[in-house]
Amino acid sequence: MLYEVNYSAVLIFSVIVGFTLWLSFYLGKSAQSASGFFAAGGNIHWFVNGVAFAGDYLSAASFLGICGMIAFYGYDGFLYSIGYLAGWIVALLVIAEPLKRMGKYTFADALDSQFNSKGIRLAASLSTLAVSIFYLIPQMVGAGVLVKPLFGLDHWVGVTMVGAVVILIVTTAGMVSTTYVQFLKGGLLVVFSAILTVMILNRGFTVIDPDLKAEQLADQVVTKLADGSKLVNGLPQGKGDGQADLRPVGSVLELPDGAKETGPLGPLEFFRVFQDSKVALWRDKKDGDTTTYFAQPTSGAEILRPGNHPNFKGIRGDNLLVKVNFLSLMLALFCGTAALPHILIRYYTVKDQASARKSTIVGITTIGFFYVLTLYLGIGAMTSGSLDVTTSNMAAPLLAKSFNNFLFAMISAIAFTTVLGTVSGLIIASSGAVAHDLVSIIVKKPLEDAAKIRIAKIASVVVGVIAIALGILFQNMNVSYLVGWAFSVAASANLPALVMVLFWNRTTKQGITASILVGMASSLAWILLSGDTYSKVYGWNAADSFVPFSQPGIVTIPLSFLTLIVFSLAASPRDRIGNSSK
Amino acid sequence: MHHGENVKEIEDPISIAKNRQRGLVLFGVYSFIYAAYVLTNTFQHQWMEETWVLGLNNAIVSGFGLILSAILIAFVYGFLCRPAGPKKEA
């Protein structure tokens, strides 16, 4: 679908970016010390930190990806909402308070607090960089995906623009400005999603006009030509005479009792009516360079049950490996959140364990509330008549457009801010891993704060530039798929080490180092050899892959635990927690 | 930026151990609920299509229930771990 440049979105986004940059420069003096730069001096209020957790965590994958997936496939997208939130319970009940007690600036601090081991620092910093880079790519790709239709700019311009702004935010005031960008973004995202939900409920459902039904449900055919241009239904794609563009889609075909419209609906009534209705979902069929998009009438009851998305279809069948793949994904989502370095470092920005606990409770409430809204936003988009059949990522902004242009501009600008907030967190986590952990392995003498901050700023620029380059390089890659990589690697590499260092006093530095390296290597190898990667990345036959299913967590998380236990038992008791030389 | 009173909670080994125990019990409760939800979706998916309460199918009720139970457990944990009034130092 072709989009017109949305100047209101440009204006709102510019105001938000301008405000965050002003705030960054204003707060710059708070980041003169290492503690100020990496952990905001531990002075962030627990409520601000809680909302900033939401701003850090609710990435482009959560906002654009989940809404889009629900809009195209129904309940399956909601499974991600449930899995992503469940991980926060692990963070609150198991990780938050001990991590705050043991750590200082980075995830490695907590693991190494009782060992003083270069091996642990090296392994933890490598896993921080690996997870952060995997998480950065989809955010940057998401920025490029948004900028093209909304601002009329090329993908690389959007990626470079977001990268440059984030580098500026991080290098001026480190974690202080990052926190307030995330607070602002988390607050805006939840408030405007709630407003959008109220408007969806107020609008209710309306059956498609019978006179327009045949025209609106007709197949749409897109043909890619050798020069990169496209034909839509046999005509050159465009808005002018003799040209054609794709129609926006998404309509209700039938309502219960033959009603034509429902009027305003209550929050539960919305689903009761929807499950007894019939909706047109859009599917595609590829034949060489030609893709045909066709409407598939589907009952609401079918949409509101798991198993519609190609990745989840198997759970309704008898193939055990497909079911194991699903279990593995849900395990990775459960274990991954509490092992994401950019989330963990937020615990160092508050003053004590009680604040860590309270901020996680605020985070869970904010994130949980948002995830409840995702089902309304997704179903609202599905029936809004504004979806783009070629991409699910635009479902949330286009839903807003179906109400009015201001909301469209606001939601689009928030989507950009979403990228800024998450990328800032990732870059600061990476720069901490380099300046605080990697450099301490190489340089024997402890660094002065000023030197540490200088290295962190250089690392921020380098990681930012790498993120820009990867965002341009991977522009055609599925963004949710890459986020899945990050969760699997984090859950396999980091969580076993964190849990065991807290709960098993026979844990040794050798066990932790081996566990992180084995968890990271095995999960990465599994992903690279999986059927999903074969078909989606290499363009090979998925059946030729080396591993029986694509999600590694169910194998690599236990493997990482086992490695830690075996290496710890094999090591000398002198190397156990509390016995290591300081 | 100032955010009010910067009072630090006393972090004594006894309250740390108690909080840890409370956390693990509640973690066990939530893990059980989450596992039941995921296993039902995997091996008893037809149950998700049935309508038992509120006129909604079990997929919606259990999905919302899981999110709300996470929020509830978070508040219960926060309530159980609240510091006793005088145990604060400036």
As a whole number, mean pLDDT of residues A226-251 equals 89
- The confidence score (pLDDT) of residue A478 equals 60
**A530-558 confidence digits (pLDDT tens):** 888 888 778 888 888 889 988 899 999 99
Q: Do A327 and B38 touch (CB under 8 A)?
A: yes
As a whole number of angstroms, the distance between CA A564 and CA A496 comes to 8
- The confidence score (pLDDT) of residue A480 equals 63
Q: Do B59 and A304 touch (CB under 8 A)?
A: yes
A347 touches chain B (CB under 8 A): no
The continuous run of DSSP H or E covering A292 comes out as strand A290-299
Nearest to B42 among A47, A327, A375 (CB): A327
Q: Which residues of B touch A315 (CB under 8 A)?
A: 41-42, 45
Sequence letter at residue A179: T
**B25-82 confidence digits (pLDDT tens):** 999 999 999 999 999 999 988 899 999 898 999 999 999 999 999 999 999 999 998 7
As a whole number of angstroms, the distance between CA A145 and CA A372 comes to 25
Q: Do A271 and B60 touch (CB under 8 A)?
A: yes
Q: Residue A45: is its pLDDT beyond 90?
A: yes
- The confidence score (pLDDT) of residue B10 equals 56
B20: exposed, middle or buried (C-beta count within 10 Å: 0-12, 13-18, 19+)? middle
Q: Residue B5: is its pLDDT beyond 80?
A: no
Q: Which residues of B touch A326 (CB under 8 A)?
A: 38, 41-42
- The confidence score (pLDDT) of residue A447 equals 80
**Coil, strand, or helix at residue A299?**
strand
DSSP letters of A427-474? HHHHHHIIIIIIHHHH-SSPPPHHHHHHHHHHHHHHHHHHHHHHHHHT
Q: Which residues of B touch A98 (CB under 8 A)?
A: 20
Q: Which residues of A touch B70 (CB under 8 A)?
A: 85-86, 88-89, 364, 368
Q: Give, in order, the Cα–Cα distances in Å from A396 to each of A193, A216, A402, A406, B42.
A: 9, 21, 10, 14, 29
As a whole number of angstroms, the distance between CA A46 and CA A58 comes to 18
Cβ neighbours of residue A17 under 8 Å, at least 6 residues apart? A165, A417, A420
A575 touches chain B (CB under 8 A): no
Residue A206: count of CB within 10 angstroms of its CB: 16
Supply the DSSP symbol for A198.
H
pLDDT band at B1 (very low <50, low <70, confident <90, very high): very low
- Token duo for residue A98: 């001990």
Q: Which chain A residue has the Cα nearest residue B56?
A: A272
**A453-469 confidence digits (pLDDT tens):** 889 899 999 999 998 99
- Letter string b/e over residues A123-146, b meaning 16 or more CB atoms within 10 A of that residue's CB: bbbbbbbbbbbbbbbbbbbbbbbb
Chain A window 370-409: which residues touch B at a Cβ cutoff of 8 Å? 371-372, 375
- Angle value at C-alpha A414, between A408 and A417, nearest 5 degrees: 145
- Token duo for residue A540: 């090979």
DSSP letters of B45-65? GGGGG-EEETTEEHHHHHHHH
Residue that has been written with the tokens 């979105």 in this structure: A9
The closest alpha carbon to A455, from A177, A171, A173, belongs to: A171
As a whole number of angstroms, the distance between CA A563 and CA A280 comes to 50
A90 touches chain B (CB under 8 A): yes
- The confidence score (pLDDT) of residue B42 equals 92
**Coil, strand, or helix at residue B40?**
helix
Higher pLDDT, A54 or B14: A54
**Which of A41-50, A60-69, A279-288, A506-515 bottoms out in mean pLDDT, i.e. has the lowest?**
A60-69
pLDDT band at A201 (very low <50, low <70, confident <90, very high): very high
How far the first Cα of chain A sits from its last, in Å, is 61
Q: Which residues of B touch A79 (CB under 8 A)?
A: 41, 63
- Letter string b/e over residues A335-351, b meaning 16 or more CB atoms within 10 A of that residue's CB: bbbbbbbbbbbbbbbbb
Q: Residue A94: is its pLDDT beyond 60?
A: yes
What own/partner pairs with CB < 8 Å and gap ≥ 24 does A227-231 have? none
**Coil, strand, or helix at residue A576?**
strand
- Token duo for residue A326: 């699903």
Q: How far is A151 from chain B (nearest CA, A)?
A: 34
- The confidence score (pLDDT) of residue A575 equals 80
Chain A window 29-48: which residues touch B at a Cβ cutoff of 8 Å? 43-45, 47-48
Q: Do residues A77 and A67 make contact, with C-beta atoms less than 8 angstroms apart?
A: yes
* Domains of chain A and any CATH numbers: 7-203+330-476 (1.20.1730.10), 210-316 (no CATH)
Q: Which chain A residue has the Cα nearest residue B77?
A: A93
As a whole number, mean pLDDT of residues A513-521 equals 96
As a whole number of angstroms, the distance between CA A56 and CA A380 comes to 25
Q: Residue A149: is its pLDDT beyond 80?
A: no
- The confidence score (pLDDT) of residue A213 equals 86
Chain A window 270-309: which residues touch B at a Cβ cutoff of 8 Å? 271-272, 275, 301, 304-307
pLDDT band at B88 (very low <50, low <70, confident <90, very high): very low
Q: Do A307 and B8 touch (CB under 8 A)?
A: no
- Token duo for residue A196: 């959008």
- The confidence score (pLDDT) of residue A296 equals 93
- Token duo for residue A299: 């009952």
To the nearest whole number, what is the mean pLDDT of chain A? 88
- The confidence score (pLDDT) of residue A577 equals 77
Q: Do residues B80 and B87 make contact, with C-beta atoms less than 8 angstroms apart?
A: no
A357 touches chain B (CB under 8 A): yes
As a whole number of angstroms, the distance between CA A209 and CA A257 comes to 17
pLDDT band at B4 (very low <50, low <70, confident <90, very high): very low
Residue B47: count of CB within 10 angstroms of its CB: 14
Ramachandran angles phi, psi of A9, nearest 5°: -65, -40
As a whole number, mean pLDDT of residues A139-146 equals 81
Chain A window 158-217: which residues touch B at a Cβ cutoff of 8 Å? none
- Token duo for residue B46: 């037809």
- The confidence score (pLDDT) of residue A581 equals 45
Q: Which chain A residue has the Cα nearest residue B25?
A: A93
Q: How far is A86 from chain B (nearest CA, A)?
A: 7
- Token duo for residue A3: 């989009």
Q: Is A228 left (phi over 0), alpha (psi -120 to 50) or beta?
A: left
Size of interface A-B (CB pairs under 8 A): 137
Nearest to A94 among B23, B54, B67 (CB): B23
Q: Do B37 and A45 touch (CB under 8 A)?
A: no
CA atoms within 13 A on the CB side of B51: 10
The continuous run of DSSP H or E covering A171 comes out as helix A155-203
Q: Residue A59: is its pLDDT beyond 50?
A: yes
